[in-house]
Chains A and B, each alone.
Chain A
């Protein structure tokens, strides 16, 4: 045997160490039982010298395998354990007299023989435990050659132990993986918050200051509109808003039940000068519904940018009711003349009307438009929560 490898890579599942420790304790205690058994019956054995040799091998293998289980906990040692223990148990046929075996005397390995079943279960999960139990019971049957109550009882115990320990090992492996994933998520969130804090404390403050300083420059110089400060102020202000949205918007990963916050999604879709009014709590909807609503708002905003006029403002309001989510989108531009949208549909340009209405219809929602020349446009999109939950047409 080579000495155990103790490099960090060698132990793939440190969380299983308590199970391995338990196994080693079991192995040592049952070895003592086997020694007592050997001391008591060695006089009645057919080949006492061979019996002593087998017991010596058991002692040596218990020491070697225990060290390997504690340091490495590898499947190779567990399989080797299963084979060596099976051979030791089978040697009962040579060591003991056929009479004693036939009368149901204990095998030379006694309960020590159950060790590899547990080892296989810990190393390879419930399948390993099952395989270990079947092999061990098979060897016991080969030695006894009788399906008596004792054997059936042993078989039951070995199967239960192998499956139970195997399932426990599987669960521990999985839960640690989940824990590790959660820790990674938490670290990412913490880092994000740290960045947000730094940006908030530094860059945002300076941008806001530049914006105000620029305004002041523009106010005191003439002509007002072309003052260099005005452009500077506008750019700084837009960047401040964009950056603030960036650091506060939630990561785009879906929540545990596949829902996403509509508010932070819309923040990413809207131009920096737009105003976004939302409730303090996240507005959670299925990711597909949020995608569609974001697309509708993007189109509405794009339309406003294209037609409302350069100075038009854009406001979006999100309201979250138990029954429905309402998104209102308003610009104060030139508005759409009566019938212009219907004309566009008639001419085959689906554009705004088709695409926005189509998406909202598919969500089982309603979309209304209030507009007129010089009045700006005001869309109101209502998506019922019941159909939003399934994300399908009712």
Chain B
């Protein structure tokens, strides 16, 4: 099954370059967009599986566009691909519903792998993103004690991701299954995205059911 991808970036050279390279690797690039507002509009029309999203965009920021796309199309996943080191922007995009972050200097193999994993519903975690997410939870501990926090195990896993260990290496070190490691990483992202009481309750119920099963 080919993954249907939309590339959002305001730099034409980059946008077309990535689209062409992805097409050569049999990734189906169904659309491109030069700004945030166009990205939301076009995404609603073509319903891609994965949106490759730059952060510093005209019209709507990458984080704002991510939020609108995720609200309108819950099945469409957003992978942030940015040269931005504006740490706040990255965390904002993750809170808005992005399921991963890759810097633009990542290689093509890495990018295609990340797109495949994003389409499969996995979180794409770089060490840098793990550091940001850890920092965001630490900030919450003091500023929003009611918001869901990381479990000790999730913290342990995120720290190892931030120190550059692969999911496989983490699984070996903590004697967990590869799949459990992936779940911990994904949960740490999901909890950041819970913003209202309804979502929190739904999450708590799901977790409760998981624990029972």
**A275 pairs with B128, CB closer than 8 A:** yes
Min CB–CB distance A386 → chain B (angstroms):
16
Partner of B131, one of A244, A279, A332: A279
Check A332/B14 contact, CB under 8 A, given A204-B83, A319-B135. no
Partner of B162, one of A200, A245, A277, A281: A277
A157-207 interface (Cβ within 8 A of B): 200-201, 204-207
Rounded to whole angstroms, the CA-CA distance of A328 and B138 in the bound complex is 17
Does A237 reach chain B (CB closer than 8 Å)?
yes
Task: List B contacts of A135 (CB < 8 A).
Answer: none
Residue of chain B at shortest CB distance from A238: B105
Give bound CA distance, A245 to B163, whole Å: 19
Cβ-defined contact, A280 with B163, below 8 A: no
B202 located at the interface, meaning its Cβ lies under 8 Å from any Cβ of chain A in the complex: no
Kindly state whether residue A334 has any CB partner on chain B within 8 Å.
no
B163 touches A320 (CB 8 A): no
Given the contacts A320-B135, A328-B159, A208 and B83 also touching, CB distance less than 8 Å: yes
**Among listed A51-59, A89-97, A103-111, A210-218, interface-contacting one:** A210-218
Asked if residues A244 and B17 are in contact (CB atoms below 8 Å), the reply is no
| Contact with A200, one of B84, B105, B107 (Cβ below 8 angstroms) | B84
Whole-angstrom distance between the alpha carbons of A244 and B163 in the complex? 21
Interface positions, chain B 67-92, Cβ under 8 Å from A, are 83-88, 90-91
| Interface presence of B121 (CB below 8 A) | no
Q: Is B153 an interface residue (CB 8 A)?
A: no
Known contacts A215-B108, A240-B105, A330-B164; is A278 also within 8 Å of B135 by CB? yes
The number of residue pairs between A and B whose CB atoms lie closer than 8 Å in the complex comes to 113
Query: Is B147 on the interface with A (CB-CB < 8 A)?
Result: no
Question: Cβ of B138 and Cβ of A318 under 8 Å apart?
Answer: no
| Residue-wise interface mask of A (275-299) relative to B, using a CB-CB cutoff of 8 A (1 in contact, 0 not) | 1111111000000000000000000
Q: Once bound together, how far apart are the Cα atoms of A212 and B164, in whole Å?
A: 22
Would you call B163 and A216 a contact (CB within 8 A)?
Answer: no
Check A280/B135 contact, CB under 8 A, given A209-B13, A328-B159: yes
Given contacts A219-B108, A319-B134, contact A280 B91 (CB under 8 A): yes
B43 adjacent to chain A (CB < 8 Å): no
Interface residues of A in 316-331 (CB under 8 A from B): 317-322, 328, 330
A281 to B135, CA, bound (A): 8
Is B130 interfacial (CB-CB < 8 Å)?
A: yes
Asked whether any CB of chain A lies closer than 8 Å to the CB of B44, the reply is no
Question: Could you tell me which residues of chain B, from 106 to 145, have a CB within 8 Å of some CB in chain A?
Answer: 107-109, 126-132, 134-136, 138-139, 142
Q: How far is the CA of A328 from the CA of B164 in the complex (A)?
A: 11
B133-171 interface with A by 8 A CB criterion: 134-136, 138-139, 142, 159, 162-164
Q: Which of B14, B83, B127, B131 has the most CB of A within 10 A?
A: B131
Chain B residues with CB under 8 A of A278? 87, 128, 131-132, 135
For chain B, which range describes its interface: under 10, 10 to 19, 20 to 34, or 35 or more residues?
35 or more
Closest residue on chain A to residue B166 by CB atoms: A332
Given contacts A313-B164, A319-B134, contact A205 B13 (CB under 8 A): yes
Number of interface residues of A (CB under 8 A): 40
For the complex formed, measure the closest distance between the CB of A316 and the CB atoms of chain B, giving whole angstroms: 8
Considering the complex, which residues of chain B in the window 3-27 have a beta carbon less than 8 Å from any beta carbon of chain A?
11, 13-14, 17-18, 21
B104 interface residue (CB < 8 Å to A): yes
Judged by a CB distance under 8 angstroms, whether B56 is at the interface is yes
Give Cα A281 to B87, complex, Å.
8
Q: How far is the CB of A268 from chain B (nearest CB, A)?
A: 13
When the two chains form the complex, which single residue of B21, B91, B105, B132 contacts A216, counting CB atoms closer than 8 Å?
Answer: B21
- Shortest Cβ distance from A267 into B: residue: B85
Query: Could you tell me the distance between the alpha carbons of A317 and B17 in the complex, rounded to whole angstroms?
Result: 33
- Say yes or no for A341: interface residue by CB 8 A criterion: no
Give Cα distance in the complex from A281 to B90, angstroms. Answer: 12
Pick from A211, A319, A332: contact of B138, CB under 8 Å = A319
Residues A280 and B14 in contact in the complex (CB < 8 Å), given A315-B162, A319-B138, A330-B164: no
Give the chain B neighbours of A318 by CB distance below 8 A.
Answer: 131
> Quick check: A205 and B83 within 8 Å, CB to CB?
yes
Decide: B108 and A277 in contact? CB cutoff 8 A.
no
A211 to B105, Cβ gap below 8 A? Answer: yes
A248 lies within 8 A of chain B by Cβ: yes
In the complex, A233 Cα to B85 Cα: how many Å?
Answer: 20
A241 near B105 (CB under 8 angstroms)?
Answer: yes
Contact status B132-A315, CB under 8 Å: no
A320 near B138 with CB under 8 A, answer yes
Q: Mark interface residues in A240-264 (1 if CB within 8 Å of B CB, else 0).
A: 1100110010000000000000000
A81 sits at the interface (CB 8 A):
no
Task: Report the nearest B residue to A314, measured CB to CB.
Answer: B164
A-B interface, 7 closest residue pairs, ranked by CB to CB distance from nearest: A279-B135, A277-B131, A315-B164, A280-B87, A277-B162, A208-B104, A317-B162
| Interface residues of B, Cβ cutoff 8 Å to A | 11, 13-14, 17-18, 21, 56, 83-88, 90-91, 104-105, 107-109, 126-132, 134-136, 138-139, 142, 159, 162-164
Cross-chain pairs A/B with CB under 8 angstroms, 8 sampled: A205-B104, A207-B105, A208-B14, A212-B107, A212-B108, A244-B83, A277-B134, A280-B88
